[in-house]
Structure formats: C-alpha cells, structure tokens
Structure 1
Amino acid sequence: MRKLLNTVYVTDEQAYLSLDGENLVCKIDGEIKLRIPFENVESIICFSYIGCSPALMGKCVSKSIPINFISPSGRFLAKVFGETKGNVFLRVSQIDCFRSNAIVLAQNTMAAKFANTRQLIKRTLHDVPDLKMDFDIQQTLQVLADGVNNVLTANSIETIIGIEGNCARSYFSIFNKLITNSKVSFSFTVRTKHPPLDEINAVLSFVYTLLTIEYAAALETVGLDSYIGYCHTLRSGRASLACDLVEEMRCVVERFVLSLLNLRILGEKDFSKQISGVVWLNETGRKKVLTRWQEKKRNVIEHPYLRQKIAFGLFPYVQSNLFAKYVRGEIKEYPCFLIK
C-alpha cells in the first residue's frame, strides 16, 4: 500500500523552490523559510509565479514527485512529472477499452455521481430535519433518482452529458439551502466556473482543482494516461481521465466546502474581489482551505469495495489501481466510489 506522505503547498506568490542535497528548500526574498527532506514529500503544489530551480525539477522527476503549478487565483497552469513510465501495453489497452466501453463507463460514473449527490443531500436532511419538507429539495432528490435510471439506459455519451447537465442544474438550484448556518454571510445562486463570480464558487473551483490534480498524479503513477478519458472530450492540456474519475468524488468536495461554510471557517476577509466581478480566495483563504484539506486527507474511512479502512488521501491511488485492473481485464467492472 502506498504510504500517505505530505503534499507541500507553496502559497506565497514570491516563493522560490530550490534543491539542497536531499532537501527541498523554499526561499522568500533570499531567506530560507522551509527545509524538508524529500523522503517526506509526496507532491508539490505551487501557487508561486517565480517557480523553482531546474535542479529541483530534475530531482522531483527522478523521485516521481509531481510539481503542479497553479496561479494564485487557483487556475491550473502546468505540471512537471517527467516521462510517462509504466507498462506501454496498459496505455494501449486503455485506448482500446475506451473505444469499446466508453458508454458503459460513462453510465456507471454518472450514476455513481448522482447517487452520491443524493446521499449528500440526505445527510443534510438528517442533520436539519426541518428541510425534509422543502419542496425544491424533494424535487431535486427525484431528479437525481430519475437521472440514475435514465443514464443507465442512455445510448450515447452526448445523451449522458445532457442528463448530467439537467441533474447538475437541479442540484445547484438548491445548493444554497444546504448552507444551514444562518450566520454565513455568503449565498449561492448559480454555478459559475470560469471564472467564479462569488465566494462559494471560488472555493468549489479551488478544491475541485486540488482533487483533479491528485487524481492525475495517481493515474500517472499506475501507468495510465491521465489525458485520455472516456467521458470528457479530449482537449490539449486537460487531464480528461482525471476529470472523469473525479465526477464520482465531487460530492466529497461539496460536503467539504459546505462544512467550511457552516462552521464559518471562511469569512469575507478570505476572498479577493476583482473589478470585473471575479472572486478568488486570497492567500489567507487558500491557507485555511489547504490546512483543512490536508486534515481531511488523513481521515480514515472504509473503502466501499475493498472493505478496508484507508486514509481518504489514498483514495485517488486506490481508485486508479482498480481502474488499471479493469483496463487490464483483471476485474470485469470498474467499481465506482459509492457513499453508503
């Protein structure tokens, strides 16, 4: 089993990363702020525009430590991971598998997404019984239930995407009602992605990006090509397969964001609002989210398929391994992540 180490988040925009023997060094204005042995590092996520030294990048490549560069606003820029290794026959099998089984994979993925979203809503209803009689919430639960049935009988990727869009619209139309703490100063009206136009969308997009990066690294680790997906269309520079597998885990991100809001961990001072209307997490806000995200990754939960207790941070690697087994024909069906 892969050991859960540390993801190093570099949030200061003026930080520069370099190599010192077997240590990762972070400097700001020439002063060393952090020194950490490579043996304690699993991945690096850098929000700095200054970047890092070529020597450090070479060291990370040799140790299979991915470096992800993200803009201070949370937009993915680039990744340094080195050459794609692993079994070349696995990647050939991946392409062949997607050509013949793309619809089945997309059906199962979206059905799992809708089922998990229903569980997220039901958990809120359990915590706040007064919402059980809300007409809009009950209607959304029905839309999601119908979505599970409809997506399993769909005969094209386009139809599946259409069903997903309808379910997403219904879900996000009641998302604001899941923010149950009346003291929260933010409100959610509609999902805006590129760019986010309010605080809640800013946090959602930020954490979605973090999870997608982790899935992309996990897929590369097991030898799969993270850029060739079965549901998301191929696009230069986008890890489409990572985006596909994240779909079944989006509910985890959304529950995480709802917890940050309902516990009032995030406030108005944690965001930066642009004249254009765009809203981003500022450095303070990013640190708060990243600290809680790292804590969540250490939480141990039972994997619904393996029936083993695993740290949440290892789930991308576990699911990627299961997906690789499916591609190789070792298991008949890829077991999607399902909340119970």
Structure 2
Amino acid sequence: MRHLLNTLYVFTEDAYIGLDGENAVIRQNEKELGRIPLHTIEGILCFSYRGASPSLMGACAERGIALSFFSPKGRYLAGVHGEDRGNVLLRKTQYACSEDDARSLELARSFIIGKLYNSRWVLERATRDHGMRVDVERLKLASAALGSSIAEIGRCDSLDSLRGIEGEAASRYFGVFDELILRHKESFTFEARRRRPPTDPVNAMLSLFYTVLATDCAAALEGVGLDPYVGFLHADRPGRKSLSLDLMEELRAVMVDRFVISAINNRIIDPTCFDYRESGEVRLSDDGRRALFDSWQERKRDTIVHPFLKEKIPWGLVPHVQALLLARALRGDMDGYPPFMWK
C-alpha cells in the first residue's frame, strides 16, 4: 500500500523555492524560510509569483513529486511532470474504452452513482447530526430526489442522458447546500454554484479545493499508469484532464464539500478571511488560505476504513486507491469499477 507523505504549500508571494542537495529550500530574498527533505513530500503547491528553480523542477520530476503552480490569489497556472510512467498496454485499453460508447457509459455510470450516493449521504448526515438546526423536511426531499436519480441512472442509455441526470441532481443538491451552513449565515450565504469567477466565500472555497482535488486525482492516475487527459464522462478537450474530472466526481461531496462546511461551522475560517474585488469576484486572503490548507492537510491524515477494500487508510490516499481500482477494472481484473461510496 502506498504511504501518504506530506504536501508542501508555499503561500509567501515573493518566496522562491530552490534545491539544495536533497532538500527543497524556500527563501524570501536572502532569508531562508524553510528546508524540507524531498523524500518526505509527495507534492508541492506553490502560490508564489517567483516560482521555483529549474533544478528543483527537475528533481521533482525525477522523484515523481507533483509540483503545481498557482497565482498568489489561487488560480491554477501549470504543473511540472516527469517522465511518462504510463503502462502502454493499460493506456491502449483506456483509449479503446474511451472510444467505445457502451464501455464509457458503464464507467461513467459508476462515477455518477458514487457522486450522488455521497451527496445524499452528506444531506442525510446533516439531518441526523443537526436535526434541530436545519430544515429536515427540505433536506429529506432533496435526498429522496437524489435517490430517484440514482435509480434513473441504471436506465439511461447514453452519456448525454447521464449528464442530464447528473446536472439535475447537482442542482437539487446545491439547492439545499445553504442549509448545511450553521454559522455566520449572513456572510456565508450560498445561493447557487458559481465557478468563474466565484462571487461569494463558499464558492471561492469550493472552487479552490475542487482544483486541489483534481490535481491529487491526476497524480493518482499517473501513478497507476493511466492517462489523466482521456476520460469517459467528460469529453476530451485540449489541456483538460478529463479522467481526473471523472474520478473526482465521486469524491467532491465527501472530500471537499464536507471540508468546506466543517471549516465554516468549526470556525476554522471566518468572514475576515476573504478579499472582495470590484468585479464581484471573491477570493481567499493569505491568512484564509493558510488556515484552510493547514486544516486540509490534517483532514487528509484522518483514517477511514475503505468501503470496498475494508482496509484502514488515510483520507489522502482515497484518490490513489480509486485510481488503482479503475486500472484493475480496465485491465479486466475486476467485474466493473467500484465507486467510493462512503457512509
């Protein structure tokens, strides 16, 4: 089983990450801010405009350390990847499957069933844990609608119809998402999912951590030899890691949505942690990002019993386990792909 290592987050805007021997060294001007051995990390997320040295990028590529660059305000810019570790036979199977509508639909169904199941579970848990503080009837109605959508997925006969079911179910889910927010309701009001740009604090957090999750899923897929750019549900598009988006669908609710709600309800984040721009865009402040990423790293270390493997693993390894199960399903070692269905 793969071991969960640390992820290094660099938020200081004018910091520069260099290489010194076997260490990543973070400097601000001539001052050394930190020194991290490369063998202890599996990823680096850099929010600095100064970036990283070519020698560090090369070292990360050689060691399989995912290095991703974001703007200081959190917009994803680029990533550094090493030698392609893909298994040619596995990838040929993946490409053939992506061109086969029936096989693509079968896998896509699994991704969306997992997504709706987990979204429903998030709503059901809120009614169980906070029944006196939420509109239970409203959440139950939405949960029942998601249950009906799951049943409908088994009868859909095309990717377009599946996408339609998923879109309607997502609208139902986000239509009651505001009920899950229990603190600072006046500042953390959620009306609808808004992506580009996010116009409220909740959407700002969701957008950022969906991007982080997609990056983790891409690294997991590459780690088992799959091509993250060729998916089954999301259409191929230049520059888009479609299979990463496919894999993260089932993980959105349990890994990101729950995390964002907990950050608000447990006062990890507050209304002062956001910057409001004249354009209407809302972004996390530096302090807000630091607080959230510290909490995200802690959450990834929490252990669970994987519902399919029945083994105890950290949350941070879930994308890697699901990528491995997907590779096995494509090779024919398993009868279908088992989505991550948490409860």
d(CA) in 2 for partners of 1:288 and 1:191?
23
Alignment map for 1:165-204 (pairs within 5 Å): 165-181=167-183, 185-204=187-206
In the alignment, which residue of structure 1 is the partner of 2:147?
Answer: 145
Residues 15 and 48 in structure 1, CA contact (< 8 A), matched pair in contact too: yes
TM-aligned CA distance change 1:305 to 1:95, over 3 Å: same
Residues 4 and 313 in structure 1, CA contact (< 8 A), matched pair in contact too: yes
In the alignment, which residue of structure 2 is the partner of 1:48?
Answer: 48
In the alignment, which residue of structure 1 is the partner of 2:68?
Answer: 68
In the alignment, which residue of structure 1 is the partner of 2:325?
Answer: 322
1:134 offset after TM fit, Å? Answer: 4.0
Query: What is the identity, as a one-letter code, of the residue corresponding to 1:81?
Result: H
Q: Deviations over 1:91-128 (max 9, x none)?
A: 11111122331111111211111111111101000012
Query: What is the identity, as a one-letter code, of the residue corresponding to 1:335?
Result: P
Query: What is the identity, as a one-letter code, of the residue corresponding to 1:277?
Result: G
Residues 178 and 190 in structure 2, CA contact (< 8 A), matched pair in contact too: yes
Q: 1:244 aligns with which of 246, 249, 263?
A: 246
Residues 270 and 281 in structure 1, CA contact (< 8 A), matched pair in contact too: yes
Aligned CA-pair RMSD:
1.4
Query: What is the identity, as a one-letter code, of the residue corresponding to 2:300?
Result: K
Query: What is the identity, as a one-letter code, of the residue corresponding to 1:302?
Result: V
d(CA) in 2 for partners of 1:305 and 1:65?
28
Q: 1:128 aligns with which of 115, 127, 130?
A: 130
Q: Deviations over 1:207-246 (max 9, x none)?
A: 1111111110111111100011111111222211111010
TM-aligned CA distance change 1:312 to 1:134, over 3 Å: closer
Residues 127 and 139 in structure 2, CA contact (< 8 A), matched pair in contact too: no
d(CA) in 1 for partners of 2:162 and 2:73?
31
Q: Deviations over 1:134-161 (max 9, x none)?
A: 4432321122011101122111111111
d(CA) in 1 for partners of 2:187 and 2:5?
36
Residues 127 and 136 in structure 2, CA contact (< 8 A), matched pair in contact too: no
d(CA) in 2 for partners of 1:194 and 1:182?
24
List alignment gaps of at least 5 residues for structure 1.
Answer: none
Q: 1:312 aligns with which of 310, 315, 331?
A: 315
In the alignment, which residue of structure 1 is the partner of 2:285?
Answer: 282
Residues 232 and 241 in structure 1, CA contact (< 8 A), matched pair in contact too: yes
Q: Deviations over 1:59-114 (max 9, x none)?
A: 11111111011122322211101221231111111111223311111112111111
In the alignment, which residue of structure 2 is the partner of 1:7?
Answer: 7
d(CA) in 2 for partners of 1:13 and 1:247?
31
d(CA) in 2 for partners of 1:163 and 1:183?
30
Per the normalisation by structure 1, the TM-score is 0.97
Query: What is the identity, as a one-letter code, of the residue corresponding to 2:298?
Result: E
Query: What is the identity, as a one-letter code, of the residue corresponding to 1:301?
Result: I
Per the normalisation by structure 2, the TM-score is 0.96
Residues matched between the structures, number: 340
Query: What is the identity, as a one-letter code, of the residue corresponding to 1:289?
Result: L
Task: Name the SS of the counterpart of 2:251 in structure 1.
Answer: helix
Query: What is the identity, as a one-letter code, of the residue corresponding to 2:318?
Result: F
